[in-house]
Amino acid sequence: MITLFTVAMMIMPSMSFAFASGDFVISTEELTYKAGDAVKFMGNATADANVTIEVSFNFTSARLLSIKVTANEDGEFSHTIMLSESTLAGAYNVTALTSNLTAETFFTVIAPTPEEAPPEEDYASCCNGDLKNAIARAKAYLNKTETMLESLAEEYAENEVVMGYIERAAKALAEAESYLDEAEEALGDGENSTAARNLAATHNIMGRLKGLINSVIKEHKNAQVDKFIEQAESRFNGLEDKIERLSDQLSASESGDIKNALKNAAKNMNEFRERRENENADDLLDDLDDAVKDVDEEIEEIGGKEVGNTLKQMNQVEARLMVLKNSRAKLARKYGDISEVNGEFDEAEGILEDMMDEMEKGNVNNTKALVSQVRELAKNIQKQNTKALRAKSSKGNSRP
């Protein structure tokens, strides 16, 4: 198994939709993971096909790793990687390549709860070395906490609840760092007792900080659930419109089955909102993923294999564009003017509309070239996001 190395970036969470070419697909076993988890990739290709799996940031083209696997005689392939304990939260893009085919999916690493703060001990009568080590451990904990808070603040700048907890945590963090600096200074002057008192004060604040961090993490996960529900409902509404437009191409039973599936999905979304207050967010995200997969399975059965596959591809492209739009909005919040990241969103949406027009006319085969065009546009937009990110970062144009 391969360890995914540390990435120093926070990226907007996204849904784990597959984005595929025909029967070539890749997916992850779970929707969300934590640092240190095993991530299993699974997919289908042709028998004995050589497949390259690449992992990168979801709005950059910076490749983190590349893996080569071989499909079995049934065309199935899988591979597992280990996320390092220092992997930061965010969404990751997975691309599978074989011959001239491409398939993609996404998975999200959720923000970790920092490890317990170093234990408070009686250092008043300890030697200089013990105090020095204790201060170093406390400093490492505070540095890690500061990095996490900065990442979450960047992502949830417009979420008042999350930002309220982050601001309180940031104040506690600054207070703890001040005491720790005084402890370090006292230790350097040979005043061990003073250093021990300041270190004890630091530990007291770190206990309060731990509680605030837990509150931030809880609200962060709740925000992920809300975002998933919002994205899922948007996708379901889009599917409902498509089914209405394709009513002449579908049998009454096919149309009825998918409408019932969408109705049940909408009901589930409302239930998930109620459950969010009392249930574990990780479990809810898994249940949400299952609800999306149930709808996908119904799509596969309608209008023959070609119609079902085309509808899935359209919705997957739309999901990809949604992720890219979120990424562009994130860049705009951080850097202000990002006119170079406008991309070809309008053109992509126009092609998707052309695909629907062809499907309404019963010309499903005519959509294949359009799928390739919109995929290429999505890649171009992704490259533009990357270019803008690098340009702005190198100039240090981050907004205050």
The reply to whether 377 falls in a domain is: yes
Q: Give the domain-ending residue among 168, 197, 217.
A: 217
Q: Give the domain-ending residue among 217, 241, 273.
A: 217
Whole-angstrom distance, CA of residue 238 vs CA of residue 232 = 10
Torsion of Cα atoms, 337 then 340 then 345 then 346, to 10°: 90
pLDDT at residue 90, rounded to an integer: 65
Among 85-99, 120-134, 177-191, 314-328, the minimum mean pLDDT is found in 120-134
Check if the beta carbon of residue 192 is closer than 8 Å to that of residue 131. yes
Rounded to 5°, the CA angle 124-126-132 comes to: 100
Please report, for the domain that includes residue 22, its CATH number.
2.60.40.1930
Between residues 328 and 127, the one the model is more confident about? 328
The reply to whether 324 falls in a domain is: yes
Contacts of 325 (CB under 8 A, 6+ apart): 345
Helix (H, G, I), strand (E, B) or coil at 23: coil
Point out which residues pair with 105 in neighbouring strands: 94
Max Cα-Cα span within the chain: 86
CA proximity to 88, closest of 29, 11, 170: 11
Check if the beta carbon of residue 84 is closer than 8 Å to that of residue 200. no
Residue 23: count of CB within 10 angstroms of its CB? 13
Domain range for residue 203? 128-217
The reply to whether 201 falls in a domain is: yes
Among 66-75, 85-94, 313-322, the minimum mean pLDDT is found in 85-94
Q: Give the domain-ending residue among 178, 193, 217.
A: 217
Same domain, residue pair 387 and 339: yes
Between residues 387 and 5, the one the model is more confident about? 387
How high is the mean pLDDT of the chain? 77
**Quick one: pLDDT band at residue 400, thresholds 50, 70, 90?**
very low
Same domain, residue pair 142 and 89: no
- Does the pLDDT at position 157 exceed 90? no
Average pLDDT over residues 158-182: 88
- Does the pLDDT at position 272 exceed 70? yes
Between residues 399 and 241, the one the model is more confident about? 241
Number of compact structural domains in the chain: 3
Percent of the chain scoring above 90 in pLDDT: 8
**Quick one: pLDDT band at residue 336, thresholds 50, 70, 90?**
low
- Does the pLDDT at position 15 exceed 50? no
The reply to whether 210 falls in a domain is: yes
pLDDT at residue 303, rounded to an integer: 62
Average pLDDT over residues 155-160: 77
Q: How far is CA 127 from CA 117, 196, 203, in A?
A: 21, 11, 19
Only one residue has tokens 């900065």, namely 150
Check if the beta carbon of residue 43 is closer than 8 Å to that of residue 51. yes
- Does the pLDDT at position 330 exceed 80? no
Same domain, residue pair 103 and 14: yes
Check if the beta carbon of residue 187 is closer than 8 Å to that of residue 195. yes
Same domain, residue pair 133 and 160: yes
- Does the pLDDT at position 208 exceed 60? yes
**Quick one: pLDDT band at residue 11, thresholds 50, 70, 90?**
very low
Q: Interhelix angle for 304-335 vs 345-360, to 10°?
A: 160
**Quick one: pLDDT band at residue 114, thresholds 50, 70, 90?**
low
Residue 175 is given by DSSP the state H
The reply to whether 261 falls in a domain is: no
Beta strands of the chain (E only): which ranges?
Answer: 2-4, 25-28, 32-33, 38-44, 50-57, 63-70, 76-83, 90-98, 101-109
Whole-angstrom distance, CA of residue 42 vs CA of residue 306 = 23
Whole-angstrom distance, CA of residue 68 vs CA of residue 53 = 6
Alpha helices in the chain (DSSP H): 128-155, 160-188, 192-245, 252-275, 281-300, 304-335, 345-360, 367-395
